[in-house]
Chain A
């Protein structure tokens, strides 16, 4: 079974600064997908970024980028130029290549301070 671990329950960052959220996972699969989802307070969960394990290039989406280290089974999220609207719970998630069952980490609560 796969497991996903987020070791930082809470983090804070000053507006306009950069913050990195950590995620590690455990799997015996070679092909899989990794995700970061964002859940703002009282709002719906949305996808931030997605990484395919067979792609060596790290995914980027505007101010959001990942550092995917397949051998280390690490998948961190970097948020540049943090904005107040980035305040949310962030969940790292895993699914294997053949399925659509997401395994989530415990989440990191990020607070962006003005």
Chain B
């Protein structure tokens, strides 16, 4: 596998289900991100991890719970979701910010989530 991979690619879940999205990067990066892409809103940054530590939580509801066990893996645990949470969830990775930022982010193909 190369680049950034995400599984599953498609997920349908009920509002009472618990599921997890997985992201893996094979680029040797130390920063990973979750984004939400809805049909009628700009891409929204959800969470940022630098060196496995969460450095940003962009006011995301607690029904979304991220986990970063190491620099190569990122999970998004989902529970008690709402229909409006249906969207494409994108994972990305980059070099971590140290003295300056502006690094290119590499994106995965996304997980298309439908909440019934």
Contact = CB atoms under 8 A, between A and B. Distances in A.
Interface of A: 4, 32-33, 35, 37, 43-47, 50, 52, 91, 95-107
Closest 8 CB pairs of A and B: A33-B102, A104-B43, A45-B107, A106-B42, A100-B101, A100-B97, A47-B104, A104-B42
Contacts of A106: 41-42
Given A32-B102, A47-B104, A97-B100, 9 more contacts: A33-B102, A37-B107, A46-B107, A95-B101, A98-B100, A100-B102, A101-B48, A102-B105, A103-B45
Contact of A43 (B92, B100, B105, B109): B109
Interface of B: 3-4, 31, 33, 41-43, 45, 48, 50, 56, 58, 90, 92, 94, 96-97, 100-105, 107-110
Contacts of B42: 4, 91, 104-107
Secondary structure of the B contact surface, majority rule: loop
Given A105-B42, A107-B42, A99 B108 contact: no
28 contacts: A4-B42, A32-B102, A33-B102, A44-B3, A44-B4, A44-B108, A44-B110, A45-B107, A46-B107, A50-B102, A91-B42, A91-B43, A95-B101, A96-B101, A97-B100, A98-B100, A99-B97, A100-B94, A100-B96, A100-B97, A100-B101, A100-B102, A101-B45, A102-B43, A102-B45, A103-B45, A105-B42, A106-B41
Contacts of A32: 102
Given A33-B102, A44-B107, A50-B102, A98 B45 contact: no
B31 A44 contact: no
Nearest to B90: A45
A52 B45 contact: no
B104 A100 contact: no
A37 B94 CA distance: 14
